[in-house]
Structure 1
């Protein structure tokens, strides 16, 4: 039904850049020979012997091959501030984060040419200096490659048609599975790695055929992991897969750990996402992980741990239930359509709240919509949820009925809801709509279609909770930075609740969070279903569908504030004119709002 983006052509990307410089090769050939002789004298690099005659050409070379200006988004810019905690918004990705790429800014707020092309001879230990030193020693090899490309082009450069093409992607990807040494970075406790190892059809080249990555070992402890993750993402974005693979294996692999600090744990999963993207097998890896998931009991245990140690799910349930109790206090029959029924926990909380309602509780009918993830987590069909809720309703003495819709949310039609004329309707979207494809994925635009469909039902209130992140239509590089920024805050919030070596915490992160991260980074098109939008965009979608925001009362706000008393003091509630934000320190994590038809 949908089309996905095909594998990026490494040869095509790199040869495109080379083509722009072929005309300069002849005029500078003598300079290259001098540079090659001085750089490889006696088989050893001697950076001090490089002739000053090459400096101007070298500057032009760097501008063409080591800067963002030479990429396909030459005029776009990503603003990166100095590394800090998530609460400080280290990449300057505020709620108005743009899908454009800004210039890389150093810690002193000066603007450099590029995160990859910065070179300072004043600091011999800098990453950029080491990279520049290695690249200068390879100029002679590059000339031979360019000559070969020129002689075989017949007037134009053929992308990836020659077996001798040193830039062809097949030279970078071998025919065997992941080597154990390449994926051992996550440790023996990592289920995500075991799945990757057993399901990949290809392997990542070691990336050391040209670059001597051992030179970087001495400076790895001095590197900032956030900056290096962005640097590697830039390599991948530029199509420089050889450099990216070597960097993953020899630098990033030594900096991450599933039992380390929040950024080290997040970095481990983002690194796996980058590996998957380089293999152009994001979908294969993600589906393999889904197939290799733990048993239902294990997954439910991991989800329960996350539910207990973080307030995100409880924030969604309690804020929405408070609106229902307030808006429906005079109604006798209430029909709730839930697009993310999961385990039904939200409605168990509501049933307990309604049992004390003055005048007796109303009749409640819940229509739960199913999906494969919830099915696996429950260990069975929606009937399991219905039975749990019926038992709970009997205990609370609340009249109750359950109706199941066993299909994915974007597949539902009007007749599936079985709305009755004597019921007041409530529609619930808890962390659900970001999984529904929009106009960027499908011409059918199920995201807006679903909102218009709900409008036809004329519900009294629509409840909406989503993550405050911008990963839907953003290009790869800004999406990577946004994911790094957002999930750094999430991993920090998890970190304060359980020890770093706690197996339960590791399982919760791997089973409930890591797969989302891999999907965001590695997949495109209809294969990527983690597509978050900022509240401003959701607000526009609801408005175009025929809804207006419902002002939330102080009692709703108080319910959420009471919830946070049981969690870390760095969680905060922010109230706007139409929504409630849950923040970790200064980073807004999710937003709750209510809507009605106009």
Structure 2
């Protein structure tokens, strides 16, 4: 089986095998959530982050693609609930919903009147959406940068009148960008960033939804796995080091493909950085090993990427070493944060291990060392494209959509906008800068296969015609309309 056949086999089961593992895990995780998980950040009375977060208010993620991709309008009961959370982040809990159904006729009349008023408010907001939201947000950021507190307060109040977490994409994004600005003024960004950290099981559910509705993760996984499959196609012993293994789902299809090699599967060791004991990852990889009859050994490493040493990774002679950095390396501080420059130091350490291939998947955004105003405008442009791409997949009234936008995107937005120094850990760089760093560490480009790129291009067609794939010097970039969002490259 040559590299093309190997990767074709992997891609043919990409959706099925991932969903069989991750969707089941997501549904199971949802059922294990506490009865009521509440979050009260106490930032601002009007903040979407100041509302108690009740996970029970949202339905469990759908377990079928048909349900997940439904773009039908919300049911009337959902619409009524959404009227009550125009300035909230989450829907009311089940007891409140039940109580609402037993109100007297007079109270229903009052509620209908309030609903009509809310409809009028939303209508006015829609009329001022788009360019008006962007103009106000940039004016707020400028006032804050100039330390003009009174002007910022007035502009922030005006901006609150045109943003909404249930509105158009730019209105939804604007609600989170505004709260990032408020948090920056109040020096509470780091506190909010930590408080918004979602429990692993809850986050898995939201990430699974994002995986289903947008191609970002699939793109990164396919590109990285394609490069690794090509690099180790003749090896009998393979060692994968994953600096952000998460749930280990990236490796399911690659292992399945390696197991189907005509000469028999290689022995595979996977070393992954974990936040816990790595138990769920070990169970998943063990199940894959049994099902596809491929020897897999998993070893968790509980350390931050910048603290990893060669001894922790147990690299052995005679193994083909593949190293994966998937949406992780931007979290490692660079020379602008620490004199020792851990980011470049990590790359030099990895180069010293003699890897067969290193894969890098990162957000294509310049928010690392740029001044605040430039960084804010860049973040606004980048996340506007992200929010717009979600718009075509989930209806505006969807609780799943609000959950995805808050848990998968809003936390990063707050960190980029509100934090500085060591507290700002979301430090994205453009592909050109990553090229420079990897080149200085001694790496050379390992061009991604044109066949792999064409398969990915075909995948995008199943989502929206607004997604595009661009090749650049052996790397590939996934974009929405004219905005690049994710880059994938390989090195050796």
Task: Name the TM-score class by shorter chain.
Answer: 0.7 to 0.9
* Contact 1:370–1:409 (CA under 8 A) maintained in structure 2: no
Corresponding residue for 1:46?
Answer: none
In 1, Cα distance between the equivalents of 2:136 and 2:453?
40
Indicate if the aligned counterparts of 1:470 and 1:533 stay in contact, CA closer than 8 A: yes
Aligned 8 A contact 1:229 1:267 in 2: yes
Residue 89 of structure 2 corresponds to 190
Cα deviation, 1:404-431, whole Å, max 9, x if unaligned, reads: 1011111111111001112110000011
* Structure 1 residues 201-230: Cα deviation after superposition (integer angstroms, max 9, x where no partner): xxxxxxxxxxxxxxxx99993871111100
Q: Distance in 2 between matches of 1:219 and 1:390?
A: 51
Q: Distance in 1 between matches of 2:468 and 2:256?
A: 26
- Preserved contact between residue 580 and residue 592 of structure 1 (Cα < 8 Å): yes
Cα deviation, 1:159-207, whole Å, max 9, x if unaligned, reads xxxxxxxxxxxxxxxxxx6563466897465159xxxxxxxxxxxxxxx
Q: Mapping of 1:286-325 within 5 angstroms? A: 286-290=193-197, 293=198, 295-325=199-229
- 2:192 equivalent in structure 1: 285
CA apart distance, 1:539? 0.3
Other-structure match for 2:261: 357
Distance in 2 of aligned mates of 1:247 and 1:592? 39
Q: Give the corresponding residue for 1:224.
A: 132
Task: Please tell me whether residue 267 in structure 1 is matched to residue 174 in structure 2.
Answer: yes
The alignment's TM-score, normalised by the length of structure 1, stands at 0.62
Q: Which has the higher contact order (CA 8 A, sep 6+)?
A: 2
Matched-pair contact (CA < 8 Å) for 1:366–1:401:
yes
Return 5+ residue gaps in structure 1 as ranges.
1-176, 193-216, 376-380
Candidates 130, 146, 150, aligned match of 1:242: 150
Residue 299 of structure 2 is aligned to residue 403 of structure 1: yes
Q: Deviations over 1:230-252 (max 9, x none)?
A: 01100000000121122212x11
Question: For the Cα contact (< 8 Å) 1:369–1:405, is it kept in 2?
Answer: yes
| 8 Å contact from structure 1 (residues 318, 559) kept in 2 | no
TM-score w.r.t. length of structure 2: 0.75
Residue 360 of structure 1 aligns to a residue whose secondary structure is: coil
Q: Please say which of residues 553-562 and 327-336 is displaced more in the overlay.
A: 553-562
Structure 2 portions without partners, runs of 5+ = 1-41, 52-84, 92-123
**1:438-453 alignment, distance < 5 Å:** 438-453=334-349
Instruction: Give the whole-Å Cα distance in 2 for the aligned partners of 1:296 and 1:332.
Output: 34
Cα distance change on mapping 1:393 and 1:589 into 2, 3 Å: same
Is the CA contact (8 Å cut-off) linking 1:191 and 1:510 kept in structure 2? no
Q: Which moves more between the two structures, 428-437 or 347-356?
A: 347-356
CA contact (8 A) 1:337 1:366 kept: yes
Q: Distance in 2 between matches of 1:363 and 1:547?
A: 26
| CA distance, structure 1, for counterparts of residue 296 and residue 162 of structure 2 | 53
- Quote the offset at 1:363 in angstroms: 1.1
2:467 is equivalent to residue 571 of structure 1: yes
CA distance, structure 2, for counterparts of residue 402 and residue 310 of structure 1: 29
Taking a change above 3 Å as real, the CA distance of residues 544 and 394 of structure 1, as seen in their structure-2 partners, is same
Residues 469-515 of structure 1 deviation map (CA, whole Å, 9 limit, x = unaligned)? 00000111000000000000010111101111111011011011100
How far residue 286 of structure 1 moved from its aligned partner, in angstroms, is 1.6
Residue 464, structure 1, aligned to residue 372, structure 2: no
Alpha-carbon separation, structure 1, partners of 2:380 and 2:464: 22
Task: Assess, with a 3 A threshold, how the Cα gap between structure 1 residues 179 and 518 changes in structure 2: closer, same or farther.
Answer: closer
The answer on whether the counterparts of 2:368 and 2:427 sit within 8 Å (CA) in structure 1 is: yes
Partner of 1:12: none
Structure-to-structure mapping, 1:191-590, within 5 angstroms: 221=128, 224-249=132-157, 251-290=158-197, 293=198, 295-371=199-275, 375=276, 381-590=277-486
What RMSD, in angstroms, separates the aligned Cα atoms of the two structures? Answer: 2.4
Verify the 8 A CA contact 1:382 1:404 in the aligned structure 2. Answer: yes
In 2, Cα distance between equivalents of 1:219 and 1:329 = 54
CA–CA distance in 1 between the matches of 2:87 and 2:291?
A: 45
Cα displacement string for residues 47-84 of structure 1 (whole angstroms, at most 9, x for unaligned residues): xxxxxxxxxxxxxxxxxxxxxxxxxxxxxxxxxxxxxx
> 1:179 and 1:570, CA in 2 relative to 1: closer, same or farther beyond 3 A?
closer
**Aligned mates of 2:46, 2:471 — CA distance in 1:** 49
* 1:574 CA displacement: 0.8
Whole-Å Cα distance in 2 between the matches of residues 306 and 368 of structure 1?
23
Count of paired positions? 387
SS of the equivalent of 1:547 reads coil
- CA radius of gyration, larger in: 1
For 1:450 and 1:187, the matched residues in 2 are separated by 45
Partners of 1:315 and 1:218 in 2: how far apart? 35
**In 2, distance between residues paired with 1:363 and 1:182?**
52
Q: C-alpha deviations, 1:257-299, integer Å up to 9, x for none? A: 1111110010010011001001022112222223xx3x44332
Contact 2:323 2:357 in 1 (8 A): yes
